[in-house]
Structure 1
């Protein structure tokens, strides 16, 4: 991995990890760092590196703290950082929900307190701010103007005192490179077409890719090779192709086939009905993709890659099918109705119903049914509420 040319996100993490490791051997360590970006996979790598370097397992309860600015004032967090621990020689403090420092209303007192602390920080404490309210694309030149404004504000404030670590979204090529390198390190060489299929199928979602790769490594343990067939069996078989078959039946209003396909999905899952939340997440994601396709009038595969951003894309084998399915819906209202039904089912599932399968069956039946006609007055009210 060291000889490869990595994209912005992996490179930033590599520099951060190297600095943390060097500091344990006497190198310089900043009193604080800002993990800027919503790439959870890279966040976890940074967190793991800090904990490995500064949090001995036997002292974890004494030297590792996690605070949320939504529930804990920054003054209390700084007080903890300034106060030496009686039980551990070093303190690591992760601070989440940093967005709260940049919401409406002046935070002069908060930033003044931060400035005073960093003028004379505790050398036996490390503050790590998790700024996951910013999205940094793999090509930083394409950063949204709103995110760019937030990032500039972040660098002008916390960035004056802390090291900035830009956690850009992982590009598909980097995801493939990571999959290949990780497989090789585990002693299981992954075929290039298998790596490409895995990344394409999961839309370069690194947390999902890491989880599925772990399953693949266990599935092929001792064989020394991961093939395209292994990926199709373990990742695509029930999780992707069957899902698009289900949404195809739903969009065609074929209730009988849709219910049968749902049963197939549940029966093929190792977790059975306990996988209901996961299936619901994939349904919601697919219907959101169809909403974008319909709104942007996507008609072919070339246009779909422009309409769906990285991390929200679909596997190539499903592109034409999903375009066809989306065009079966006549209006945005039909798809937002579907998303409301899914949201209601999600709420019901999280309330621990006696039968999760029944909740999903009712959802699929409703999704595959024609919407009930609404009166002109109700339609006008609905249109007003959606504006």
Structure 2
């Protein structure tokens, strides 16, 4: 993406239109483009976000305003599919005569087939500004390998194929699983098929959920039973560092759900894919026995330090963490 946003070595494209059903990839591309256009502190004065459904006058006015202590202004116009015909016409006109001191990103899922949408799409194509982010065009194995590499790890090709088999081709889910793998191996070294099967949440998710449910319910007996299954269940022995990263991730999800419950908003992120019964049970438990974020963070940090220093069996350190977290 970085090379595509430059007209030359010193000039950035004034407009980039991003369309597709891969919002995670679009988010990455926009973040990269923003970092190039308004690096560091310049973003505080020159970057702004607008939604096309609210009208585009504000976004275009911002784009035409002289930047402050920066070469460019950066305008992120989202949900392009919600723009009115009048707004699309204004955007098409802007694309033909953009402001050279601004970088404007127009993004959304699709434009539809109205006259205004076709005119906007044509203007973007003619200007060389249209970028497509469609799921059918992606190479999920390569995406996983590149994300792991950017984090300092080498994801083997066979492991990447296995990861896609387990998680599917959803980009957001795939990125999340790669991040978990990187965390599980300590942020360095190679990641093979065995590591994928050990750390992938879809393999051990049921047991990890059982463990986190027991932690939230302050049930040490059930928690230790799940802990034993995770440490040596089936034919696989998982490292305590891997288990700690998985528990930390689940606690993160529970804290996000707890915050949503308190605010009265929709469950965040991955909770939309959790079975309704499990979501209801987790919500009820968090209402009865809320998690203390500071306490959980301290416990996880202490356990991580203890595992790094452990000379004997670090299994005792992990089990000690579980007992501490289930203590009323």
Q: TM-score, normalised by structure 1?
A: 0.52
1:355 to 276, 284, 289: 289
- Counterparts of 1:111 and 1:171, CA distance in 2: 26
Aligned alpha-carbon RMSD (Å): 4.1
What are the superposed Cα offsets for residues 293-317 of structure 1, whole Å, 9 maximum, x if unpaired?
Answer: xxxxxxxxxxxxxxxxxxxxxxxxx
The one of 15, 18, 21 equivalent to 1:32 is: 15
Partner of 2:52: 69
CA contact (8 A) 1:20 1:49 kept: no
Contact 2:91 2:120 in 1 (8 A): no
- 2:240 aligned with 1:275, yes or no? no
Aligned residue pairs total 250
1:11 counterpart residue number: none
Deviation at 1:23, TM superposition (A): 3.5
Q: 1:200 to 1:175 in 2, by over 3 A?
A: same
Cα distance change on mapping 1:186 and 1:61 into 2, 3 Å: closer
Q: Which one of 178, 203, 228 corresponds to residue 213 of structure 1?
A: 178
Return the match for 1:94 from 59, 65, 76: 76
Q: Secondary structure at the match of 1:95?
A: strand
Question: Quick check: 1:33–1:128 contact (8 Å CA) kept in 2?
Answer: yes
Aligned equivalents of 1:64, 1:185: Cα separation in 2: 26
Q: Does the aligned pair in 2 maintain the 1:216–1:230 contact within 8 Å?
A: yes
Once the two structures are TM-superposed, the CA of residue 282 in structure 1 deviates from its matched residue by 6.1
Which stretch shows the higher mean deviation, 52-61 or 228-237?
228-237
1:13-32 equivalences in 2 (<5 Å): 14=1, 17-26=2-11, 29-32=12-15
Q: Is the Cα–Cα contact under 8 Å of residues 167 and 202 in structure 2 kept in the other structure?
A: no
Describe the shift of the 1:60–1:343 C-alpha distance in structure 2 as closer, same or farther (beyond 3 A): same
CA distance in 1, matches of 2:91, 2:103: 13
| Greater relative CO (CA pairs within 8 A, separation 6+) | 1
| Structure 1 contact 171–204 (Cα < 8 Å) conserved | no
How far apart, CA to CA, are the structure 2 residues paired with 1:273 and 1:38? 29
Which of 107, 131, 138 lines up with 1:165 in the alignment? 131
From 216, 221, 226, give the equivalent of 2:191. Answer: 226
**Is the 2:49–2:77 Cα contact (8 Å) retained in structure 1?**
yes
Distance in 2 between the 1:83 and 1:283 partners?
Answer: 41
CA contact (8 A) 2:198 2:204 kept: no
Is the Cα–Cα contact under 8 Å of residues 273 and 356 in structure 1 kept in the other structure? no
Counterpart in 2 of 1:53? 36
Shift of 1:37: 0.9
CA contact (8 A) 1:35 1:166 kept: yes
Question: 1:269 Cα deviation (Å)?
Answer: 2.3
TM-score, reference length from structure 2: 0.60
Q: Secondary structure of 1:57's partner? A: coil
Q: Indicate if the aligned counterparts of 2:5 and 2:16 stay in contact, CA closer than 8 A.
A: no
Query: Residues 194 and 231 of structure 1 are in contact (CA less than 8 Å); yes or no, is this contact kept in structure 2?
Result: yes
Give the drift of 1:56: 1.9
C-alpha separation in 2, matches of 1:44 and 1:345 = 32
1:285 alignment counterpart: 273
For the pair 1:114 / 2:114, whether they are aligned, the reply is: no
Q: CA deviation at 1:223?
A: 6.7
Contact 2:5 2:13 in 1 (8 A): no
Which residue of 2 is the match for residue 296 of structure 1? Answer: none
The whole-number CA distance in structure 2 between the counterparts of 1:193 and 1:284 is 30
Judging changes above 3 Å, is the alpha-carbon distance between structure 1 residues 272 and 195 closer, same or farther for their aligned structure 2 residues?
A: closer
Q: Per-residue deviation at 1:59? A: 0.8
SS of the equivalent of 1:270 reads helix
Secondary structure of 1:229's partner?
helix
1:168 positional shift: 0.9
Q: CA deviation at 1:60?
A: 1.1
Could you tell me how far apart the structure 2 residues matched to 1:126 and 1:116 are? 15
Q: 8 Å contact 1:201–1:240 — kept in the other structure?
A: no
Aligned to 1:83: 65
CA deviation profile, 1:86-116 (whole Å, cap 9, x unmatched)? 44331110001222215xxxx33x3443355
